[in-house]
Structures are given as C-alpha cells and as structure tokens.
Amino acid sequence: MARLNYLELPVADTTRAKAFYGAAFGWAFADYGPTYAATTSGDTDIGFQADPGEKTAAALPVIAVEDLEAAVAAVTSAGGRVTRPIFAFPGGRRFHFTDPDGHELAAVTAG
C-alpha cells in the first residue's frame, strides 16, 4: 500500500534548518551534499532542499510506492499531471506530480 513516508522542505540554508529542528525536536541529520540534509529515523523522514535549482515552492509530500511506472500511469489516469518525469537520486527514483487542485507531490521507490 502506498503511504506518505517523507516530507521535503525547501529551505534557504540547510545548516540553519538542521540547527533549528535539531534544537527544537532533537532530530539528527545526514548530509547528502552541500545543499541537502535529511533525518534518517525510518519513520516519516524530513529532507531539507536548499539548491535553488531543485527546491520546490512549497513543502513536498513524498509517497512511497511499489512500482513507480505504475504510479505514473495511475496518477495521470486519475487526473494528475506529471511535472517532473522519473529521475534517480541517492536512495532511489521518483517523479513529481500535481493533483487536480494543483498541490505538488512526489512518488518514490527505494533503491
């Protein structure tokens, strides 16, 4: 079953974001380059994207799915619009889409 497993937040500065969330909630982070960091608790993790060319305009909910290509077909069949085709990143592959109300989300598979 597909489930929300990640929330990516656009930030201006990953160091500042890590300091705030670490102090406020005791979270630890792994760095994935100079502009990306994420919690790695295994629950619903949070990522911070500071790369101006990669960050979204708002928070990006990420849904874990078994079959990414089937998810693309299901999203488009249900009336969604793919805004960023399937791409690889450290940890897996994903695509971005908007729902009929214009909310941007992503679907991801690990590995």
111 pLDDT above the threshold of 80: no
Q: Which amino acid is at 57?
A: A
How confident is residue 104, by pLDDT bands cut at 50, 70 and 90? very high
CA distance linking residue 88 with residue 14, whole number of Å: 22
Q: So what's the pLDDT on residue 101?
A: 84
| Residue 28 DSSP one-character state | -
pLDDT tens digits for 41-94? 778 899 999 999 998 999 999 999 999 999 999 999 999 999 999 999 988 999
Q: So what's the pLDDT on residue 41?
A: 78
pLDDT tens digits for 9-47? 999 999 999 999 998 888 899 999 999 999 987 788 999
DSSP codes, 45-65 = EEEEE--TTT--SS-EEEEE-
Tokens, residue 21: 């969330």
| Residue 36 DSSP one-character state | E
Q: So what's the pLDDT on residue 74?
A: 95
Phi, psi of 57 (to 5 degrees): -75, -25
Give 87's contacts (C-beta < 8 A, 6+ positions apart).
93, 94, 95
Q: So what's the pLDDT on residue 90?
A: 87
